[in-house]
Amino acid sequence: MKTMWAPWRMDYILSDKEEGCIFCKALSEQDELTLFRGKVTMVMMNKYPYINGHLLVAPIRHLATLDQLSKDEMGDLLLTVEQSVGILKKVMNPDGFNVGLNLGKVAGAGVEEHLHFHIVPRWFGDTNALTVFADVRVIPEHLKVTYNNLKPCFEQLVL
């Protein structure tokens, strides 16, 4: 049997969970995982991704549900999701994407108080039984490398 080590997971498992909203915190200070801050939306990398390039797109306003968004915010949010998918296609060349919202704790929302989309790039063969049997994900590229590859493209976004 081979052993695969994912020591970065222990930081998350053993750490005290952050107080407050990660999105609002990222907006109020310099956050090393924030790729884009617009007038209405923001894009940040998931600190504990399912796979490389896992992005979070959120409105700037602290909202929990879709019906709290104005029509302009909703349009801007979806446009930012679309442009983020385009950047991931260009930079990472995935075979597809999972894009979605988890609304409420029961639906899997880790940050249920601030609405956000997950964008998860997918490649053929990127999943296997390791996650199911060992609760381990293999992330082949360090977060900072992915960030440095994506950041120049997000700097060109105009919303």
DSSP code per residue over the chain = ------THHHHHHHSPPPSS-HHHHHHHS--TTEEEE-SSEEEEE-SS-SSTT-EEEEESS--SSGGGS-HHHHHHHHHHHHHHHHHHHHHH--SEEEEEE--SGGGT-SSTTS--EEEEEE-TT---HHHHHH------S-HHHHHHHHHHHHTT---
Note if 114 is an active site residue. no
Of 54, 62, 114, 116, the active-site residue reads 116
Q: How many CA atoms lie within 13 A of 147 on its CB side?
A: 16
Catalytic residues: 116
